[in-house]
Structure 1
Amino acid sequence: MKIVDVKASFLKIPLPEPGLRTFKHVRKAWEFTIVKVFTDEGITGIGGQSGWLGAWGPCWAEYVNTAIKSLLLEEIVEPFYIEKFAKIIRCQPPSAVSPRPSCVEMALWDIVGKAAGQPVYKLLGAYQDKVKAYASSWGWYPRRKPEEWAKFATECLEEGFKAIKIYCSPQVPPIEADIENVKAIRDAVGDEMDIMVDAESAWSIRPYGFQTALKLAKGLEKYDVFWLEEPLPHLHNPELSARLAAAVDIPIAGGGQVFGLHNFKTLLERNALDIVQPDVGNAGGILEVKKIALLAETYGKSCAPHTYGPGLLLAESLQLAGSINNIPYLEYAYFPPVFSVEVRDSILKDPIRIDRDGYIHVPKGPGLGVELDEERVAKYTVQEKTFSH
């Protein structure tokens, strides 16, 4: 079997009003790239990844359609050479290509699975066919009140979720209000749910200082928080993150925006994180994250993949999750009505839902196990290939 063509498309998936608000702006659409890899045997693989590329989005898709297409047709040739493709992409300097085209790697896995008639997780070495989900909300601004978070958590519990993640930020002080939000959730759901908190500080231009991060973590400890995510710039200052991890009882998590096995090796060697959170789109693909999870296991650490985005990204992450044994939870983007299951999975024929026990089941079909709603993909595709000024 040989690769004969590649087609990448940049999508803007519309979000209902009022959109997803941050402290800087309002997101009215979710930006997502879909790639299709075609073979001479009629098997087509699909892959996708998120990326806030703005005007550059269609141009990045065009980069996949030209440079990456040439790489696949002339050097990779057969879709089974996934390790070779991953190695080439991993060794590119950041200035050469950013973001890395992980979606192509995942499309190759989809082809291999379809050719074998098996879901990808079984080809990777299956460990489980379902994984616990946590309802991952959104850093809503202006700040939600404690009673609003308590109501949202109760609704999630009624839906079947056994865990919820809320957000805070160094851009929206004070941390005492964030601690009050967690207290309200704990009071509302008791011990029936795990609570995660994402501090969104690792990539901030004004991150928490060590003492503030320590105060936040210590304030959350009494409410049995499952993890505190990205309270400090872990990749830029792993020693500082390690110092915090050693000083508190809450596991420190992070890595959702980090690329590649070797960056995670640095974080693990320096004990900067207790839980690693590679994203299949950002870290380099399914095989790369599988390696990161195995590496984390050798350090006695958990791997809870980051996966905030459309349903195709969730399907890719589920195939990975079915093959690793040190995953406590998988992220499940859920913030209705703006990011409901129907909106998130609008480009899939069948939405991916949790069961009544709070688990997501790995899709059982061959490859990634999901099918695209081609009509909606075409509707949401952005056609322009030039930068706007």
Structure 2
Amino acid sequence: MKITDITLDRLRLPLDPPLHAAWDPVPRRVFDATIVRVHTDDGLVGIGSGDTMDGFDAFRDLFVGQDPLAIARHVRAIETCTFHGGNYWPLEAALWDIAGQAAGLPVATLFGGTHDRVPAYASFCVPRPAPERVEVAHRVAEEGFRAAKIRIDRDRIDEGVATVAAVRDALGADFTIMVDLNQSWRMAGDTAPATDLAGTRRLVRRLAELDVFWVEEPLPYADTDGFRALRAENPGLRIAAGEMAHSVPEILDWISRDVLDVYQMDVVLSVGMSRARTLAELAMLRHRAFTPHSWTNGIGVLANLHVAAGVGGGPWFEFPYDPPDWTPARRDFPLVGGPVVGEDGAIAVPSAPGLGVELDEEAVQRWRIR
């Protein structure tokens, strides 16, 4: 089997009303999705998505004509491309999609087949006043979720803590709450400094008193000593990070130095599926958790799910969902259906061979950037 072509569909969904995500310096008025299709002479077509794939046209010839199942070779090639261009991990997802189809198995089975479903948490994105956040938390709990993640704006810390406290009071001790501070990396143009270590230490102590399960990305990635200090000072609370860490040696160093409780490398944005599997297994061998970031579209959600379920990640899986602002209708606009969470609060691995992606070709045509 040979790769005959790699095609990209660049899609753009207008967001009206715009999305006021906590990490965006300006409201997001469009949601872009790049669909990667790897075509083969056997007729199998692999699908991936997640990052923008900007600049990939210059590297297409490194893959066309090659065996799509030689994924270790392709991972190394993508890493060399990353040095000179963008992050092309959606291509690896499409290759694993082909591998699963060729084997007649879900990709999660190829990655170890540990779980066929993983408990999901509703990953909120909009900073809301406490009454509104409680209302949304009640809604997702009624839909089956047993956990949710709340964002705290670094400029509105007291309001954020009050919101966490209100959700804890309203939903009780059995509902799991995570908190994301979004301090490890920045969107383009966001030059505001992160909260200093002293302020973050005070904030994390306050969150620990509210029985928060983990605090995510509380510090810039470079402050590994700060991460370790937060862990040492708050033994009943976990510290999570790594969703956009692109350096495998850096993450290996974090694991060896025991920097984090929860490793969150996104398989289509950070280090790819194969490398994430290796790093996840190393972290879990040290009794640390792997639960990847999955804030892209439904294809990226599925790619992360297959890796997490395959290696036995958990105990939670991120499901981007914050109604009415962020819903599957927006997130998965290029898809027929898309990943869903069941009444038991878990997300099931698709049983179809490959990643289980079904594109809505009419939506692809409608939203393609001409």
Q: Deviations over 1:193-243 (max 9, x none)?
A: 100000011125411111111111100111110100011113x12122212
> What pairs with 1:35-184 in structure 2 (closer than 5 Å)?
35-51=36-52, 60=54, 63-64=55-56, 66-73=57-64, 77-91=66-80, 94=83, 96-98=84-86, 100-140=87-127, 144-170=128-154, 172-173=155-156, 175-184=157-166
Give the 3-state SS of the residue equivalent to 2:142 in structure 1.
Answer: helix
**Residue 33 of structure 2 corresponds to which residue in structure 1?**
32
Cα separation, partners in 2 of 1:42 and 1:306, compared to 1, 3 Å: same
* Structure 1 residues 200 and 139: alpha-carbon distance in aligned structure 2, compared to 1, 3 A threshold: farther
**TM-score between the two structures when normalised by the length of structure 1:** 0.89
Q: 1:293: Cα distance to partner? A: 0.7
User: Contact conserved, 1:210 with 1:244, CA < 8 A, in 2?
Assistant: no
Decide which moves more: 199-208 or 83-92. 83-92
1:381/1:316 Cα in 2 relative to 1: closer, same or farther (>3 Å)? same
Matches within 5 A, 1:210-289: 210-234=197-221, 236-249=222-235, 250-289=237-276
- TM-score w.r.t. the length of structure 2 is 0.93
Instruction: Give structure 1 regions of 4+ aligned residues with deviation exceeding 6 angstroms.
Output: none
Letter of the 2:193 partner, please give it. Answer: R
Amino acid at match of 1:237: D
Q: Give 1:156 shift.
A: 1.1
Is there any run of 5+ residues in structure 2 with no aligned partner, and where?
Answer: 187-191
The 3-state SS of whatever aligns with 1:36 is strand
Q: CA deviation at 1:166?
A: 0.7
- d(CA) in 2 for partners of 1:87 and 1:300? 28
- Count residues with an aligned counterpart: 363
SS at match of 2:279: helix
Q: Give the 3 Å change call, closer, same or farther, for CA 101–92 of structure 1 in structure 2.
A: closer
Residue 192 of structure 1 pairs with residue 174 of structure 2 = yes
CA-atom RMSD in angstroms: 1.7
Q: Contact 2:59–2:81 at 8 Å: present in 1 too? A: no
Amino acid aligned to 1:218: R
Which amino acid in the other structure matches residue 20 of structure 1? H
* Structure 1 residue 91, shift from structure 2 partner: 4.4
Aligned residue number for residue 386 of structure 1: none
Task: Report SS of the residue matched to 2:68.
Answer: coil
Distance in 2 (alpha carbons) for counterparts of 1:148 and 1:93: 41
Shift of 1:71: 0.7
Match of 2:189 in 1: none
Deviation readout 1:291-321 (Å, 9 max, x if unpaired): 1211211222101100012111111112112
8 Å contact kept, 1:90–1:260:
no
| Residue aligning to 1:357 | 344
SS at match of 2:215: strand
Distance (whole Å) between structure 2 residues aligned to residue 377 and residue 122 of structure 1: 29
| CA–CA distance in structure 2, aligned partners of residues 192 and 379 of structure 1 | 44
**Paired residues of 1:136 and 1:165 also in contact (CA < 8 A):** yes
Shift of 1:327: 1.6
Identity of aligned residues (%): 33
Contact 1:322-1:362 at 8 Å conserved across structures? yes
SS at match of 1:179: helix
SS in 1 for 2:136: helix
Separation (CA, whole Å) in 2 of partners of 1:91 and 1:341: 34
Kept in 1: contact 2:82–2:88 (CA 8 A): no
Match of 1:321? 308
- Shift in Å, 1:93: 6.1
Secondary structure of the residue that 2:50 maps to in structure 1? strand
Q: Is the 8 A contact 1:196 1:229 kept in 2?
A: yes
Q: Which amino acid in structure 2 is aligned with residue 199 of structure 1?
A: L
Report the AA paired with residue 19 of structure 2.
G
Task: List gaps (5 residues or longer) in structure 1.
Answer: 52-56, 384-389
